[in-house]
């Protein structure tokens, strides 16, 4: 849902990756010819969670269109390109980066965008201990998890200094820059709880027109459950070779839908122009209609996400009460139990039935498109379907069978609840199969598909969950998942600390393998030799597959569909039909 590194930083779900009808506004109204406005209409699964770039942790998010950083990446080649920066220099000791900004940059409200905005964004927001976000985890460096120093060193120059060399640092500079003139007071002024007002600024309850952006588009309208409308930013810097301002498309409209069936219906009825991602079950139908319907189906490689199942390993307490039933917690924290579950899931059947054969079985949380991906041929452990092996692992670990029902050593029937987001019919079908597969080894699974934002709240804040199935973006740079794999990471969901990862719960424990994964992630980020980095991240993946905090499943191939009137599409193997939105045009 998004462009470049921003696509990967915008997190979960993965999966990571995602979209109620436009009841108050008909398609004819949106396409009113009197408006004389070029536009692209797309369906999105669910509502955005915030309009505040720094606080985003859900999908869909609006920020790929509304904010821009110092650099960006080419969607086809992944090459780093200038964004609001004109150029940059790396010091000889590899510990500092100095950026020079482009001339005459402006915010969407017409105010100048300067180096002061860059320094403010980092020092007052991203590096501010009172504003805990995933971004801060990504910027922590070395064993001591120190943050970089950011300073103005000239009228157009900003310098970033790290405590030690930091391999992924340049690519992190795609983080969006935020406006000092609009937000400075929200940092210093506090609410009744003593927290910065920034934490409640630019929520989806605010007027979207009040949100000041520096990206290609501004927010024009938001109607919950119906639509988000973007309008071209008149002050955006980019122009084509002939000097014409980009982007060319004046308006983007997201129709907010509650399931992918509605997405398909709206596209086939002509109410939308794009679907991405395209469900495997919809591929044959739309491929057959491609010529007659005047649209094109695009297919790439395996989606750069990890679809996985995870158990709640948190052994802590809140208000004196365990966040997970101690009986179930004992099962979940047993490595043999997690491995048995992995062996019991028939991923080939999952691919055939749910993905219509268009999926790819995955064995790691690092995308196979990443140069740091470890393959089974290189020694990565694989859990091919083997229910008998699963049963043996369980009985060897002290579990026993009472008829067909699995019980623990104390005679407790093994039963747990598995959640996913109800709006994603593909994931709902996956948990239905897992229920059947685990029943074959005596485990009872209760299914609980729920609202996506409710699910994220349970995982990240209340810890009121036993197991879930979701997806998480996993781009080419492993470090962008550091907020997941560092024990104090803000998205360390399977054993989440309180307050964004900064505070341990009463009785919470961190296993040795968690600590080792965190140590290796730190080492990998500070190692500049690429061969050594591959070795380090290979070890991380081996630990992950042995311990299975995430049980990797199947991911779909990247697919999208777009109408022929949307011209200029250059579809990447990694997906993103609108990655080059600035170049797209809508034919008359």
Q: Are 430 and 307 in contact (CB under 8 A)?
A: yes
CATH of the domain spanning 305-552:
3.10.105.10
| 3-class secondary-structure state, position 452 | helix
Are 168 and 525 in contact by the 8 Å Cβ rule? The answer is yes
Tens digit of each residue's pLDDT (9 = 90 or more) over 222-264: 999 999 999 999 999 999 999 999 999 999 999 999 999 999 9
Residue 442: C-alpha distances to residues 398, 439, 543 (Å): 14, 5, 27
d(CA 537, CA 264): 39
Q: What is the CA 8 to chain-centroid distance, rounded?
A: 5
Paired sense of beta strands 251-257 and 274-275, if any: unpaired
- Both structure tokens of 366: 């690092």
Eight-class DSSP state of 16:
B
Examine the pLDDT at 104 and tell me if it is beyond 80: yes
Confidence of residue 86 (pLDDT cuts 50, 70, 90): very high
Tokens 């609009």 appear where?
182
| Per-residue pLDDT at 215 | 98
**545 falls in which pLDDT band (50, 70, 90)?**
very high
Give the residue, 17 or 220, on which the prediction is more confident.
220
CA dihedral 50, 51, 54, 59 (to 10 degrees): 50
The domain locations on the chain are 4-66+197-301+559-586, 71-185, 305-552
- Per-residue pLDDT of 414-455, as tens digits, reads 999 999 999 899 999 999 999 999 999 999 999 999 999 899
pTM of the model: 0.77
Residue 133 has pLDDT above 90, yes or no: no
- The pLDDT of residue 549 is 98
31 versus 13: the higher-pLDDT residue is: 31
Q: CB of 499 within 8 A of CB of 511?
A: no
The contacts of residue 155 (CB under 8 Å, 6+ apart) are 115
Tell me the pLDDT band of 4, cut-offs 50, 70 and 90.
Answer: very low
Query: Domain 4-66+197-301+559-586 maps to which CATH number in 3.10.105.10, 3.40.190.10, 3.90.470.10, 3.30.70.600?
Result: 3.40.190.10
Q: What integer is the mean pLDDT of 338-352?
A: 98
Question: What pLDDT score was predicted for residue 35?
Answer: 52
**Separation in Å, CA 344 to CA 202, 338, 401, 471, 549:** 45, 10, 16, 20, 16
Mean pLDDT of 4-29: 35
- Over 70: is that where the pLDDT of 216 sits? yes
The answer to whether residue 8 scores a pLDDT higher than 80 is: no
pLDDT attached to residue 303: 85
- Domain 71-185 CATH class label: alpha beta
How far is the C-alpha of 536 from the C-alpha of 542, rounded, in Å? 10
**pLDDT at residue 17, rounded to an integer:** 33
Phi, psi of 492 (to 5 degrees): -80, 60
Provide the token pair at 432: 């239905």
Look at residue 33 in the predicted model and tell me its pLDDT: 42
- What pLDDT sits at residue 304? 85
42 beta partners: 254, 274
């Amino acid at each position: 849902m998004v462009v470049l590194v921003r696509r990967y930083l915008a997190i979960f779900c993965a999966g990571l990756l995602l979209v109620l009808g436009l009841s108050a506004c008909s398609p004819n109204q949106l396409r009113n010819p009197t408006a004389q406005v070029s536009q692209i209409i797309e369906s999105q699964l669910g509502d955005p969670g915030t309009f505040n770039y720094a606080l985003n942790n859900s999908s869909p998010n609006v920020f790929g269109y509304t904010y821009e950083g110092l650099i960006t990446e080419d969607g086809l080649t992944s090459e780093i390109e200038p964004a609001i920066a004109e150029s940059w220099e790396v010091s000889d000791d590899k510990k500092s980066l100095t950026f020079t900004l482009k001339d005459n940059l402006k915010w969407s409200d017409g105010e100048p965008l300067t180096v002061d905005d860059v320094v403010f964004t980092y020092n007052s927001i991203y590096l501010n201990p009172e504003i805990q976000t995933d971004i801060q985890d990504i910027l922590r460096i070395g064993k001591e998890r120190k943050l970089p120093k950011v300073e103005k060193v000239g009228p157009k120059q900003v310098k970033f200094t790290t405590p030690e060399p930091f391999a992924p640092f340049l690519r992190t500079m795609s983080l969006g820059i935020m406006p000092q003139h609009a937000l400075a007071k929200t940092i210093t002024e506090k609410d009744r709880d003593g927290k910065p007002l920034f934490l409640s600024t630019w929520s989806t309850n605010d007027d979207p027109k009040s949100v000041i952006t520096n990206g290609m588009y501004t927010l024009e309208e938001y109607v919950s459950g119906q639509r988000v409308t973007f309008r071209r930013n008149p002050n955006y810097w980019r122009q084509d070779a002939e000097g014409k301002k980009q982007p060319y498309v004046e308006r983007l409209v997201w129709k907010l839908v509650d399931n992918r069936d509605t997405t398909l219906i709206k596209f086939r009825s002509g109410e939308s122009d794009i679907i991405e991602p395209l469900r495997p079950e919809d591929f044959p139908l739309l491929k057959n209609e491609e010529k007659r319907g005047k649209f094109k189906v695009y297919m790439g490689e395996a989606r750069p996400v990890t679809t996985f199942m995870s158990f709640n390993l948190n052994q802590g307490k809140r208000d004196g009460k365990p966040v997970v039933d101690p009986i179930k917690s004992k099962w979940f924290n047993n490595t043999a139990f997690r491995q048995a579950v992995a062996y019991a899931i028939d991923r080939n059947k999952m691919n055939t039935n749910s993905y219509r054969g268009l999926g790819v079985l995955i064995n790691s949380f690092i995308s196979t498109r990443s140069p740091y991906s470890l393959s089974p041929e290189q020694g990565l452990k694989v859990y091919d379907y083997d229910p008998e092996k699963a049963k043996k692992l369980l009985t060897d670990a002290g579990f026993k069978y009472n008829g067909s029902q699995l019980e623990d050593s104390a005679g407790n029937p093994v039963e747990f609840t598995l959640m996913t987001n109800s709006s994603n019919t593909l994931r709902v079908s996956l948990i239905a199969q897992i229920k059947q597969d685990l029943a074959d080894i005596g485990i009872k699974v209760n299914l609980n598909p729920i609202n996506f934002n409710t699910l994220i709240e349970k995982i990240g804040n209340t810890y009121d969950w036993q197991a879930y199935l979701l997806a998480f973006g996993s781009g080419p740079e492993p470090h962008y998942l550091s907020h997941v794999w560092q024990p104090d990471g803000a998205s360390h969901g399977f054993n989440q600390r309180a307050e964004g990862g900064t505070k341990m719960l009463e009785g919470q424990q961190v296993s040795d393998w968690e600590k080792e994964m965190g140590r290796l992630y730190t080492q990998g980020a500070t190692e500049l030799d690429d061969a050594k980095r591959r070795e380090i991240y290979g070890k991380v993946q081996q630990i992950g597959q042995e311990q299975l905090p995430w049980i990797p499943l199947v991911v779909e191939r990247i697919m999208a569909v777009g109408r022929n009137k949307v011209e200029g599409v250059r579809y990447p193997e990694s997906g993103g039909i609108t990655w080059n939105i600035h170049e797209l045009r809508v034919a008359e």
